[in-house]
Amino acid sequence: MHSVQLRRTAGATVLTLAMVAGCGSAGSAEQPAAAAATRVFTADNGRITIPADPRRVVATGYAVPALIEADAALVGISSWQRGLPLMSEEDRATYDRIEKVAGEAAAETNYEAIAKVKPDLIVIGVPQPVLADVDVERLKSIAPVVAIGPTIPSAWRELSQRQSDAAGRAANFGQAKAAYEKKAAELAAKHKDALAGLKFGHVGSYGEVAKGTFQREFAGSWGTNIAQDVGVTYYGRVKVKGGGSKDVSEYPSIEELTESLGEADAITYSVQPDGTPNEAVKYVLDSELWKNLPAVKAGRTFAIRYTEAATYAAAMKTLDAVDQALAPLGES
């Protein structure tokens, strides 16, 4: 995909040409000049011709929080319950106000509802394998469709940038990115000495108690990628890459806990917004094997909230949570 600057330049060129071409009929009700302004955007589903300045946007999946924060011209969105604790009051009010045209799952897309809000652009933010659950051809009969879905969790940075750019809000995205990077750099400097030389492991929220497994997250996963921006080093890698998030996390049996995390100098683990572990994490914390890990015996375990941030604005909350979690290290 071209850089934001190149896309802006291309978009501006197309807009200028469209305006020149329309000069002879300026003010015509049948063919206003602005309506002809388009550009070609590279998405997961190919090179798509989209409006240069979308005025009625539908967003689903991971595109929902990104485009709310970017102040896109949204007329319909999918449900996004998992991201509600990460939203500001203003963004939550926006989320509540916009009509819901799809459920949490891609298969819960309401095509009639999408047609009713008359979008000029549809941004689908679901992983590539899940895209098969969406009737893209039917959506294309309503408006141009760009699919921009996640790969590994840490790719939310690029993902949210592309989604914002597609909706004509690249400038808004840049402001949030700059604020996040400034804060992350300040916290990295603050914790640099305390983190020096420490190897971390991470326990994620998606183990399956019924199957006797836990989630070990490595660098680039949901629970780790923002802490990495603060200077936390996560060691190891998955034994077998399974694509997407399975490239950076795995699901060993609880009996493998010592083998998986025995070399960790410190361990972080995901907790819910209220600070309590969910069932999958509690299953690990209650294990006798957990209590005998060197990092646990040394008192170097740290609970982190808001580990599912997928936008820069949401990740600001995660940075605060990481800062708070790591505070005891600096006091030791």
**Model confidence pLDDT, tens digit, residues 213-253:** 999 999 999 999 999 999 999 999 999 999 889 999 999 99
Q: Looking at 219-298, which runs of residues are DSSP E strands?
A: 249-250, 266-270
Taking the CA of residue 117 as centre, how many other CA atoms within 13 Å lie in the half-sphere pointing to its CB? 25
pLDDT, tens digit (0-9, with 9 covering 90-100), for 116-130: 999 999 999 998 888
Euclidean distance between CA atoms 307 and 309, whole angstroms: 6
Closest C-alpha to 107, from 142, 78, 83:
78
Report which residue type is found at 295: A
Taking the CA of residue 17 as centre, how many other CA atoms within 13 Å lie in the half-sphere pointing to its CB? 9
SS3 at position 223: coil
| Percent of the chain surpassing pLDDT 90 | 83
pLDDT of residue 330: 78
Closest C-alpha to 1, from 159, 145, 129, 172:
159
Cβ-proximal residues to 106 (8 Å cutoff; 6+ apart), any chain: 60, 61, 124, 126, 130, 131, 133, 134
SS3 at position 38: strand
SS3 at position 215: strand
Q: Looking at 32-90, which runs of residues are DSSP E strands?
A: 38-43, 46-51, 57-61, 74-78
- Domain-wise residue ranges, the chain: 41-168, 177-331
pLDDT of residue 52: 96
pLDDT of residue 273: 95
Report which residue type is found at 65: P
Contact of 268 with 227, CB cutoff 8 Å? yes
Q: Identify any residues that bridge with 43 across adjacent strands, giving them in sequence order.
A: 46
Closest C-alpha to 161, from 315, 310, 11, 6:
310
In CATH terms, the fold of domain 41-168 is Rossmann fold (3.40.50)
In CATH terms, 177-331 corresponds, of 3.40.50.1980, 1.10.645.10, 1.20.120.350, 3.40.630.10, to 3.40.50.1980
Report which residue type is found at 3: S
121-125 and 57-61 strand pairing: parallel
Q: Identify any residues that bridge with 249 across adjacent strands, giving them in sequence order.
A: 217
pLDDT of residue 173: 87
pLDDT of residue 14: 38
State in Å, rounded, how far the first CA of the chain is from the last one.
47
pLDDT of residue 3: 37
Contact of 318 with 307, CB cutoff 8 Å? yes
- Tally Cβ neighbours within 10 Å of residue 2: 13
Q: Do domains 41-168 and 177-331 have the same CATH topology?
A: yes
pLDDT of residue 175: 87
Instruction: Report the residue count for the chain.
Output: 332
One digit per residue, the tens of pLDDT, for the chain of length 332 reads: 333 333 333 344 333 333 333 333 333 334 444 455 999 999 999 999 999 999 999 999 999 999 999 999 999 999 999 999 999 999 999 999 999 999 999 999 999 999 999 999 999 999 888 889 999 999 999 999 999 999 999 999 999 999 999 999 988 888 889 999 999 999 999 999 999 999 999 999 999 999 999 999 999 999 999 999 999 999 999 999 998 899 999 999 999 999 999 999 999 999 999 999 999 999 999 999 999 999 999 999 999 999 999 999 999 999 999 999 999 997 76
